[in-house]
């Protein structure tokens, strides 16, 4: 399961909308004692600058990883957008997946009026759908996916 606040979910979707029609990517940080909850969203630059793929800038990535360490955070997820396809990992996404402990968050802007955010775990070549809980400021929760 992955837990996001309403604000974080809006932040991720806004970043993806801003990058459209190119793909957007970013990192999600959590803390050790609450590994399911996102504490900070780090929007990253897609150096591939492409509508069909993404790559993070290794220098920017190192900098953010350093910031996470300083803040007592750790990497719990990676997000990117699909501008013309569903919120489901592509074969390239599966091939590039590095860890089964990481949430792979996909935002589909196939229908830009209705962005879809989903999360997966990728173990080898197996894609496992993961529940996403978006918590509203009022304390209510909206459960999206699987
Ligand atoms: Zn993808």
Ligand 1 geometric centre to CA of 9 (Å): 18
- Residue pair 106/85 in contact (Cβ under 8 Å)? The answer is no
In the chain, where the domains are located: 2-144
Ligand 1 geometric centre to CA of 63 (Å): 23
The pLDDT score that the predictor gives to residue 16 is 98
Dist. CA 77–CA 24, nearest whole Å: 14
Instruction: Give 146: exposed, middle or buried? Use CB within 10 Å, 0-12, 13-18, 19+.
Output: exposed
Ligand 1 geometric centre to CA of 90 (Å): 5
The pLDDT score that the predictor gives to residue 136 is 84
Ligand 1 geometric centre to CA of 142 (Å): 25
Ligand 1 geometric centre to CA of 25 (Å): 9
Ligand 1 geometric centre to CA of 91 (Å): 8
The pLDDT score that the predictor gives to residue 35 is 87
The pLDDT score that the predictor gives to residue 61 is 96
- The number of residues in the chain equals 146
Q: At residue 23, does pLDDT exceed 60?
A: yes
Do β-strands 25-30 and 40-44 pair in parallel, antiparallel, or remain unpaired? antiparallel
Ligand 1 geometric centre to CA of 54 (Å): 8
68-120: pLDDT as tens digits? 999 999 999 999 999 999 999 999 999 999 899 999 999 999 999 999 999 99
Q: What percent of the chain has pLDDT over 90?
A: 89
Ligand 1 geometric centre to CA of 95 (Å): 10
What number is the average pLDDT over the span 45-70? 96
Model confidence band, residue 145 (pLDDT cutoffs 50, 70, 90): low
- Residue pair 92/82 in contact (Cβ under 8 Å)? The answer is no
CATH class of 2-144: alpha beta
Ligand 1 geometric centre to CA of 93 (Å): 5
Ligand 1 geometric centre to CA of 143 (Å): 23
The pLDDT score that the predictor gives to residue 89 is 98
Ligand 1 geometric centre to CA of 139 (Å): 31
Reference 6, options 143, 146, 145; nearest CA is 143
User: Residue 146 is encoded by which pair of tokens?
Assistant: 């699987």
Model confidence band, residue 139 (pLDDT cutoffs 50, 70, 90): low
Instruction: Give 51: exposed, middle or buried? Use CB within 10 Å, 0-12, 13-18, 19+.
Output: middle
Model confidence band, residue 144 (pLDDT cutoffs 50, 70, 90): low
Dist. CA 23–CA 25, nearest whole Å: 7
- For the chain, the average pLDDT equals 94
């Amino acid at each position: 399961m992955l837990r996001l606040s309403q604000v974080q979910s809006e932040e991720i979707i806004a970043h993806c909308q801003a990058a459209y029609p190119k793909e957007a990517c970013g990192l999600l940080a959590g803390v050790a004692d609450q590994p399911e909850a996102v504490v900070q969203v780090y929007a990253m630059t897609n150096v591939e600058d492409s509508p069909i793929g993404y790559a993070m800038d290794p220098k920017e990535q190192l900098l953010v990883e350093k910031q996470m360490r300083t803040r007592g955070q750790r990497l719990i997820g990676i997000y990117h957008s699909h501008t013309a396809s569903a919120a489901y990992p592509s074969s390239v996404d599966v091939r590039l997946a590095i860890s089964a402990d990481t949430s792979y968050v996909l935002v589909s802007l196939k229908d830009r009026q209705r962005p879809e955010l989903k999360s997966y775990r990728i173990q080898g070549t197996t894609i496992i759908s993961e529940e996403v809980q978006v918590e509203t400021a009022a304390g209510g929760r909206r459960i999206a996916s699987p």
